[in-house]
Chain A
Amino acid sequence: MKMIVAVIQPEKLDEVRQALIDTGISRVTVTRVTGHGRQEDIDLYRGQEVVPDLLTKVRLEVALNDAFVEPAIEAICKAAKNNGGKIGDGKIFVLPLEKVVRIRTGETGGDAV
């Protein structure tokens, strides 16, 4: 089992979700986050350009059985990319997942994912 953590552009959320659903993955946790990679952005404040230190992003967490990991990565990459790829499109982290428990039934492991 793996946990995929993907940080993407907020406006790409709908497309990424749709791409995941098309791959058969509908269970996902989404959080609004701020952070910084290599992208720079500009806000306007009374005529002055200001560069925010931290940029608004969206983080998706998806728990997956091993067979779904590669298709999910592929789907996210494809959907989150702006015009063939731009700085700031985001990143995907894949982490090992030790245990999953469904609270309602107490099921564990692959069945609970």
Chain B
Amino acid sequence: MKTLGYKVSLAVCVIALFGLSDVGLAQSTGEVADKVISDAGEVNQAGKLVIDTGTTAWMLVSTALVLLMVPGLALFYGGLVRTKNVLGTMMHSFVAMGIIGLSWAVVGYAMCFGETTLGGLIGWNSDYLMLSGLDSGPRALYDIGGGLAIPSLVFAMFQGKFAIITPALIAGAFAERVRFRGYCLFILLWSLVIYAPLCHWIWGGGFLTGYAIDFAGGTVIHISAGVAGLVTALYFGARKGYPRTAMHPNSLVLTLLGAGLLWVGWFGFNAGSSVSSSLTTARALTVTQIAAATGAVVWILIESVHLRKATSLGLVSGILAGLVAITPAAGDVPPYGAVVLGALGALISYGAVVLKGKLGYDDTLDVFGIHGVAGLVGAIGLTFVLREVPEHGLMTQLWYQIEGALVSIVYAGIMTYLLIVLIDKTIGFRMNEREESAGMDHVLHGEHGYGLLNLN
């Protein structure tokens, strides 16, 4: 009846706008009700599911919002690298939209959300190959409870955006020093060999589903991408000249714009993960806003004390840390929990970034320091600020959270390492010294990011 209520309120708004009479309202409502029934023409085997248009509309918006995060990420990362690498770095994000956008439709969705197979290792369902079973027939509707559904294609596309952005996040760890073809193969294999199983285990009905709370991807996305980033940064070694040479961002303006788009997109990321238009959606959206704001404030406060200056890069780093920390918790913690997680996310990530400098490894754009660390803070910290204490008690839940994080760390860590060795030893992954000092843009792509020097 949620659908009907939504339709009615929409109709009321429209009528109010055009100043129609009460009679008009009654007639209009009648028409709306008929429309809902005809919309329900597509039903599942039981013949009961009705498309919830409100939720469907929000999921379509969320899908677009999460996709918007990818160009946001491209701007964020692209602005932080040196001028000679801006295009190569932005390509890392954009090409994921192409490669994973395609592989997700072919096999990715089947591997993540197909029926549990191979003893729980992975999902598979031949119906989902090329999304053919979702286009029509009994699986065309995705049950969201209460006799309501959204088109399965919308759910598949929404989830596909997560699959796109996760490997794109990792690229920040080895920015400015990898070959394009090695990277392309890496994200394709990473999404199939690492993302798909993790996603299936935690969200798709695998062995962790229902235990670890991971609302919108702390474990599946941020911890796995962060750990993969750390492993790749350690394997590749530092960029030539790091850390002695100053490596200036080509444009922090781009980075700030990118961070803004990420914040906007994150509403789809977190609030969309409720797969509803409900109180949970509103809660997820609210805590997302609060955690990002808290992260921003906390990071610049720390900088103001520690460096005597608040920096723009610090501000956006805080936004990201806050957003990442709230992601696993978004549907399950109250607003004060968002303040706690946002603040802890920023504080501990700041420490991790400082520690990186001391340890001397070159995670170029702090994929581990921000995504990995804030992801861990959120996944484990959420236990202590839950809205409702679960029946099995907090300590048991804490163990589930740690278990989920450990699975993600160990699996993503080991598999990523094997994957890079494989690619590095076959088609090559890291650029050689000459290519690295000449820059990715011209050497790999034959282009330049800026035309400022083209006098002709």
Which residues of chain A have a CB within 8 Å of any CB of chain B?
A: 10-12, 14-15, 32, 34, 42-45, 52-54, 56, 82
Alpha-carbon separation in the docked complex, A53 to B439 (Å): 21
Please give the distance in Å from B445's CB to the nearest CB on chain A.
7
Q: Is the interface of B mostly helix, strand, loop or mixed?
A: loop
User: Interface residues of B toward A: which range?
Assistant: 10 to 19
Q: When A53-B456, A54-B456 are in contact, do A11 and B438 touch as well, CB less than 8 Å?
A: yes
Which residues of chain B have a CB within 8 Å of any CB of chain A?
A: 84, 241, 245, 434, 437-439, 442, 445-448, 453-456
Neighbouring B residues of A34 by C-beta, 8 Å: 453-456
B446 pairs with A14, CB closer than 8 A: no
A44 pairs with B454, CB closer than 8 A: no
Alpha-carbon separation in the docked complex, A54 to B447 (Å): 15
Contact of B454 among A10, A52, A82 (CB under 8 A): A52
A11 pairs with B454, CB closer than 8 A: no
**Chain A, residue nearest B241 (CB):** A14
Neighbouring A residues of B245 by C-beta, 8 Å: 14
Q: Is the interface of A mostly helix, strand, loop or mixed?
A: mixed
Neighbouring A residues of B454 by C-beta, 8 Å: 34, 52, 54
B437 pairs with A14, CB closer than 8 A: yes
**Chain B, residue nearest A32 (CB):** B453
Alpha-carbon separation in the docked complex, A30 to B451 (Å): 20
Please give the distance in Å from B443's CB to the nearest CB on chain A.
9
Contacts A/B (CB < 8 Å), 25 sampled? A10-B84, A10-B438, A11-B84, A11-B434, A11-B437, A11-B438, A11-B439, A12-B437, A14-B241, A14-B437, A15-B437, A34-B453, A34-B456, A42-B446, A43-B446, A43-B448, A44-B445, A44-B446, A44-B447, A52-B454, A52-B456, A53-B456, A54-B455, A54-B456, A56-B453
**Chain A, residue nearest B438 (CB):** A11
Neighbouring B residues of A56 by C-beta, 8 Å: 448, 453
Alpha-carbon separation in the docked complex, A15 to B453 (Å): 22
Alpha-carbon separation in the docked complex, A12 to B439 (Å): 11
**Chain A, residue nearest B456 (CB):** A53
